[in-house]
Structure 1
Amino acid sequence: MSSFLHGYHVRANGVRLHLLRYGGQGPRMLLLPGITSPAITWGFVAERLARHFDVHVLDFRGRGLSWSVPGMDASLDAMAGDVLDLLEVQGWSSAMLLGHSMGARVAIRAASRDARRLDRLLLIDPPVSGPGRRPYPVPLSWYVDSIRMAIQGITADELRPYAPTWTDEQLQLRAEWLHTCSEEAVVQAHAGFHNDDIHADLARLQTPGLLMTAARGGVVLAEDLAEIETLAPRLQQCTAHSAGHMIPWDDELDFHRLLGEYLEADLL
């Protein structure tokens, strides 16, 4: 039986944000997806987490059913502002943030600005590119080309070259929803991977949490982990050894095992 409860909209930071809610019991968790992952694509993760947590999955601006217009500000600061104002508008006195990739960078920026309502950070393979650092390993064209194909209409099989390890169900869901990702928002986010100094944010973190990285992703390397341990000692580190950057898609069981161990919750 599904733990999905409902979708809903909130006006926060001057825009309309769409979320999906699962479970409804236990500590509150706000899930922040990656650069081209509408909220619904994280349903298979939210279903498991909902056994123990009140899970809310966000459609970032420019994605899914959230606000999206030409000329929008879809910068890291804007998205972090959305998250912080969402917590305020909803009256949530406490929440965990679980962010993957871009969503993890948003969680880091938000927590570095205002951590008063944040209990823990669960950071899944955040890009550690930035000014003067090596580039993010996935080129912008990978995202833009697939979005343009999706706008024209794309099948799961046509998407398979972009994500060869994914299941048919995962590819079908991506084929259905990828067209809702604004190319303009994605271009801004990808540029932010290289222009925003996330390491300065890490040095300001006071919120405890987990940093889970992918051994086969090429996004976070051993030398990055050593630096982050110095910058943010309150982040416990773990590695998904068989997964690439899309950890829950590449090795769902190990993702839930590692996350469950940290949260002291049986997610398997």
Structure 2
Amino acid sequence: MTDTSLLYGANVHANGIRQHYLRYGGKGTPLVLVPGITSPAITWGFVAERLAEKHDVYVLDVRGRGLSATGPDLDYDLDSYAADVRGLIDTLGLKDVTLLGHSMGARIAIRAGRINDASLARLVLVDPPVSGPGRRAYPSRLEWYTESIHLARKGMTAEDMRRFCPTWTQEQLELRAEWLHTCDELATRISFERFHTEDIHQDLPHLKVPARLVVATRGGVIQAEDETEIKSLNPAIEIVHVPDAGHMIPWDNLPGFVEAVL
């Protein structure tokens, strides 16, 4: 059996729903990792293994993804996602938390940090979409997500997934092909639409805990003018760049990502 720092997966009832998470390492201060729009917790396992060298890592299945609660009766807006994260932290009794979010997860972390930063030691905001009302669109297309979800629901192989993620390793493709069907299409559609209707920039001046923005050098999501605006809204935010990486930074440059985070 391959050595792993994975301790267990578990469910908690927090913010009124079932939330599933995976825990890695168990030593050091807690780090809560919030993945992006179609990334179940398990697909971040290879990243969590590295982060667990320094932190007690909790990787969340965001509502509508993985093994957490899903369905058309749930809300899929930033406030609800942020309340889920707050509920998880409070229910588990975590203190001195590093809250790390990637893409949509970074937008969630920003909103969570603004609404209630109790128990938060710092924020790590990895390549958040900076789209919003009156702003340029997020560069990815909704159909990229929905078409792959449709195929995953029918049953797809790693080779089927390769045309969506051509640079990924065989293991990464296999894992995504196995788990993507757990990403609810309605939740994905609503979340994608809200990339363009919800504004995270209004939250940035209100962040009081230390925050680091991690930018992909060839992701196209955050551009130089965005960094300038973010710094103007909150000069305390630290900005670091990960070379040789697109938006899915750890998949392209895991050592660079870990160095930027830790």
Q: TM-score range by the shorter chain?
A: over 0.9
Verify the 8 A CA contact 1:62 1:69 in the aligned structure 2.
yes
Amino acid at match of 1:60: V
Shift of residue 258 of structure 1? 2.1
Verify the 8 A CA contact 1:207 1:234 in the aligned structure 2.
no
Tell me the distance in 2 between the aligned counterparts of 1:229 and 1:12: 34
Aligned with 1:222 (options 221, 224, 230): 224
- Structure 1 residue runs of 5 or longer lacking an equivalent are 261-268
> TM-score, normalized by length of structure 2?
0.97
Structure 1 residue runs of 4 or more that deviate by more than 4 Å after TM superposition: none
Corresponding position of 1:93: 95
Tell me the distance in 1 between the aligned counterparts of 2:255 and 2:95: 31
Residue-by-residue CA offset, 1:18-65 (whole Å, 9 max, x unaligned): 000000010000000000000000000100111111000000011000
Residue-by-residue CA offset, 1:81-116 (whole Å, 9 max, x unaligned): 101121222222331101000000000000010112
Corresponding position of 1:264: none
Tell me the distance in 2 between the aligned counterparts of 1:92 and 1:51: 18
Residue-by-residue CA offset, 1:202-255 (whole Å, 9 max, x unaligned): 121111021111111110000000111111222210111211100000111211
SS of 2:125's partner is strand
Tell me the distance in 1 between the aligned counterparts of 2:119 and 2:236: 17
Amino acid at match of 1:17: Q
Corresponding position of 2:243: 241
Tell me the distance in 1 between the aligned counterparts of 2:66 and 2:119: 26
Corresponding position of 2:114: 112
Corresponding position of 1:125: 127
Corresponding position of 1:208: 210
Amino acid at match of 1:150: A
Tell me the distance in 1 between the aligned counterparts of 2:90 and 2:253: 35
Corresponding position of 2:159: 157
Tell me the distance in 2 between the aligned counterparts of 1:111 and 1:257: 23
SS of 1:24's partner is coil
Shift of residue 77 of structure 1? 1.1
Tell me the distance in 2 between the aligned counterparts of 1:45 and 1:194: 28
State the identity %. 55
SS of 1:35's partner is coil
Amino acid at match of 2:5: S
Q: Does 1:5 align with 2:3?
A: no
